């Protein structure tokens, strides 16, 4: 059903833990075609401190396209703003203020700061941007063309071109040279490089491995609902990042298993951030909360007879909360549709 509902440029994301991910991968290969597999993203959560063998704590998000060849032929690219940029910019500003024009010392302290960060810190992913000058934070990047082009084969100030030629035409090289972005080695046999600045490359493809402690999502939902009514809700900030990278203005996001309603909440959070208007449809079977679980007991005690009622109430409270935070926010709301038995009469065949 999901496959037939998708647009040609649509994708499906399925979250699952490591117990069944191998079976799910085979199932999705059969339904969508192995050629339409995009990625298996790893969502690292909190490590299990009481684990007997390995720490675990990760889930997976399988990503399949409706037609991956269509995405490729139309040069469709998914992009998100890199995480952890603000701490890097703040640190560089402090170092420039501290050391003035002594960029070598400032750069060394920046590299030491990167080393001090925890592996999970998002700023550490950009540790190769480890040099500072008056224009910003940069690293020495390759200036070779990825593909051979004859017009990119030319001598540049006595330096021989790479095998495929320079990455830029002569006019662009002259501009980069005037801006002081080209790095010239003393030995003419070595390669010219370019200063690649962090502020010019703030977006990249969504990471295949990312870290987000799920406990924050649980505590945020508990606070919103006034009780623990749902186990292991999805983090709205993670979902919002994926929606930002993959979807665009006017797109429709369908969640077959709404649970606590994190998808709708995440879309509402993301829309004002990038000025887009995405829409959502959430589907939730009205099953009873599991009374054997603490959250299920609390949900029943709070008067929620089904998971669907938890979904709807969470969205009502999320809408009210988001509108309180931003007074000029558009009115948030949703409609509820309930399934009913069909009115169609299925006649028996004349001949059995």
- Span 87-104, pLDDT tens digits: 999 999 999 999 999 999
Q: Is the pLDDT at 273 greater than 60, yes or no?
A: yes
User: Residue 122 and residue 87: Cα distance in Å, rounded?
Assistant: 10
Listed residue (256, 321, 310) closest to 286, CA to CA: 310
User: Between β-strands 193-197 and 136-141, what pairing exists: parallel, antiparallel or unpaired?
Assistant: antiparallel
User: Where do we find the tokens 């009780």?
Assistant: 227
CA atoms within 13 A on the CB side of 228: 14
User: What's the gap between Cα 218 and its chain centre?
Assistant: 20
Asked if 129 and 88 touch (Cβ cutoff 8 Å), the reply is: yes
Q: And the tokens for 292? A: 């054997």
Instruction: Calculate what percentage of the chain has a pLDDT beyond 70.
Output: 95
Asked if 103 and 137 touch (Cβ cutoff 8 Å), the reply is: no
Please give the DSSP secondary-structure letter assigned to residue 3. Answer: H
Asked if 266 and 331 touch (Cβ cutoff 8 Å), the reply is: no
User: Residue 188 and residue 14: Cα distance in Å, rounded?
Assistant: 53
User: Between β-strands 131-133 and 136-141, what pairing exists: parallel, antiparallel or unpaired?
Assistant: antiparallel
User: Residue 110 and residue 94: Cα distance in Å, rounded?
Assistant: 10
Share the mean pLDDT of the chain.
Answer: 91
Asked if 243 and 273 touch (Cβ cutoff 8 Å), the reply is: no
- Give the pLDDT band (50/70/90) at residue 204: confident
Listed residue (103, 102, 131) closest to 193, CA to CA: 131
Q: Which residues sit opposite 210 in a β-bridge?
A: 43
User: Residue 331 and residue 277: Cα distance in Å, rounded?
Assistant: 12
Q: Could you report the per-residue pLDDT of 327-341, keeping only the tens digit for each?
A: 676 789 999 999 888
- Give the pLDDT band (50/70/90) at residue 348: confident
Q: Could you report the per-residue pLDDT of 63-84, keeping only the tens digit for each?
A: 999 999 999 999 999 998 888 9
Please give the DSSP secondary-structure letter assigned to residue 332. Answer: P
3-state SS, residue 80: strand
Q: Is the pLDDT at 170 greater than 70, yes or no?
A: yes
pLDDT score at 258 = 95
Q: Could you report the per-residue pLDDT of 15-68, keeping only the tens digit for each?
A: 998 889 999 999 999 999 999 999 999 988 766 656 566 666 788 999 999 999
pLDDT score at 259 = 92
- Give the pLDDT band (50/70/90) at residue 153: very high
The pTM of this model reads 0.78
3-state helix, strand, coil in the chain (%, to 5): 40, 15, 45
User: Where do we find the tokens 């890097």?
Assistant: 88
Q: What's the maximum distance between 2 C-alpha atoms anywhere in the chain?
A: 92
pLDDT score at 228 = 87
Q: Is the pLDDT at 276 greater than 80, yes or no?
A: yes
Q: Is the pLDDT at 219 greater than 80, yes or no?
A: yes
pLDDT score at 49 = 59
Asked if 38 and 64 touch (Cβ cutoff 8 Å), the reply is: yes
pLDDT score at 53 = 66
User: Between β-strands 209-211 and 203-204, what pairing exists: parallel, antiparallel or unpaired?
Assistant: unpaired
Listed residue (319, 282, 289) closest to 228, CA to CA: 289
pLDDT score at 351 = 65
């Amino acid at each position: 059903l999901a496959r037939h509902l998708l647009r040609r440029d649509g994708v499906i994301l399925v979250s699952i833990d490591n117990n069944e991910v191998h079976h799910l991968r085979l199932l999705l290969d059969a339904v969508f075609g192995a050629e339409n597999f995009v990625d298996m993203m790893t969502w690292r959560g909190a490590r299990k401190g009481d684990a007997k063998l390995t720490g675990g704590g990760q889930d997976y998000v399988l990503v399949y396209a409706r037609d991956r060849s269509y995405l490729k032929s139309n040069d469709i690219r998914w992009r998100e703003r890199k995480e952890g940029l603000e701490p890097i910019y703040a640190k560089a500003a402090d170092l420039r203020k501290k050391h003035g024009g002594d960029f070598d010392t400032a750069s060394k302290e920046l590299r030491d700061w990167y080393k001090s960060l925890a592996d999970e810190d998002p700023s550490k992913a950009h540790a190769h941007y480890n040099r500072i000058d008056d224009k910003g934070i940069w690293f020495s990047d390759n200036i070779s063309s990825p593909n051979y082009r004859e017009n990119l084969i030319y001598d540049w100030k006595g330096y021989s071109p790479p095998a495929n030629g320079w990455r830029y035409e002569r006019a662009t090289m002259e501009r980069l040279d005037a801006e002081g972005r080209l790095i010239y080695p003393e030995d003419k046999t070595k390669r010219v490089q370019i200063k690649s600045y962090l502020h010019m490359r703030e977006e990249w493809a969504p990471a295949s491995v990312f870290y987000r402690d799920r406990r924050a999502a649980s505590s945020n939902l508990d606070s919103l609902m006034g009780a623990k009514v749902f186990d292991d809700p999805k983090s709205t900030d993670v979902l919002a990042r994926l929606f930002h990278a993959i979807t665009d203005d006017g797109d429709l996001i369908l969640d077959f298993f709404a649970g606590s309603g994190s998808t709708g909440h995440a879309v509402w959070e993301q829309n004002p951030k990038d000025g887009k208007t995405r829409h959502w449809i959430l589907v939730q079977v009205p099953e009873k909360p599991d009374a054997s679980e603490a959250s299920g007991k609390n949900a029943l005690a709070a008067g929620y007879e089904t998971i669907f009622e938890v979904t709807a109430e969470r969205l009502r409270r999320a809408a009210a909360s988001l509108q309180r935070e931003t007074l000029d926010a558009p009115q948030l709301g949703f409609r509820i549709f309930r399934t009913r038995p069909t009115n169609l009469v299925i006649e028996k065949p004349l001949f059995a």
